[in-house]
């Protein structure tokens, strides 16, 4: 009884939501939501990069437009991963929205499943929408994003082939 009351209080005060919840779809209304270890560091790094002028702040838009914009970026990443010959799979968390997406290679295709939390052995890639936008638009190199904490692997370490294909996909002009 005491544990359930404490859990309910944490949900109410801190905005900690169940796994798989997404801020774009009305479940979370707290930018400091804890959705995965390391996500707060990515969010704070993103904010600092915007303040320092390393990343462009994305225009504030309504939820439907933000969702559509993120879906387009994720589809762009999926297509690039396919062209880069992704091997394996991983889960991606866009930290400010708590938005999960799983990418998995199968033959010459890459399958993308949105709102799918990681499998137990999935490598997890944490990033933010401004960082993802800068990477896909060629304004930020993947290695620089990783060094500055704007992109961070969490959970199981990714195999070298997965990291290599992701870096290739994020390189400008792929």
66 to each of 29, 71, 110, 118, how far by Cα in Å?
14, 9, 24, 23
User: pTM for the full model?
Assistant: 0.79
Least confident residue range of 72-76, 84-88, 164-168: 164-168
Q: How many helices (H) and strands (E) does the chain have?
A: 6, 5
Which residue matches tokens 């999960």? 100
How wide is the angle at C-alpha 41 spanned by C-alphas 123 and 163, nearest 5°?
30
What is the distance between the alpha carbons of residues 43 and 61, in angstroms, rounded to a whole number? Answer: 19
pLDDT at site 72: 97
Is the pLDDT score of 104 beyond 50? yes
What is the distance between the alpha carbons of residues 160 and 170, in angstroms, rounded to a whole number? Answer: 15
Is the pLDDT score of 21 beyond 80? no
Task: Spell out the residues 6+ positions from residue 109 whose beta carbon is closer than 8 angstroms to its own.
Answer: 82
């Amino acid at each position: 009884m005491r544990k359930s009351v404490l859990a309910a209080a944490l949900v109410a005060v801190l905005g900690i939501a169940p796994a798989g919840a997404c801020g774009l779809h009305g479940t979370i209304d707290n930018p400091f939501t804890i959705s995965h270890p390391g996500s707060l560091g990515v969010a704070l790094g993103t904010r600092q990069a915007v303040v320092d002028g390393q990343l462009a702040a994305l225009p504030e838009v309504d939820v439907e437009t933000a969702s559509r914009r993120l879906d387009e970026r994720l589809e762009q990443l999926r297509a690039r991963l396919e062209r880069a010959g992704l091997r394996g799979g991983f889960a991606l968390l866009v930290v400010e929205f708590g938005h999960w997406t799983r990418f998995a290679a199968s033959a010459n295709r890459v399958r993308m499943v949105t709102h799918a939390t990681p499998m137990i052995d999935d490598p997890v890639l944490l990033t933010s929408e401004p960082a993802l936008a800068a990477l896909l638009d060629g304004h930020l190199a993947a290695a620089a994003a990783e060094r500055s904490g704007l992109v961070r692997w969490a959970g199981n370490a990714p195999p070298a082939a997965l990291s290599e294909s992701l870096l290739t996909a994020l390189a400008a002009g792929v």
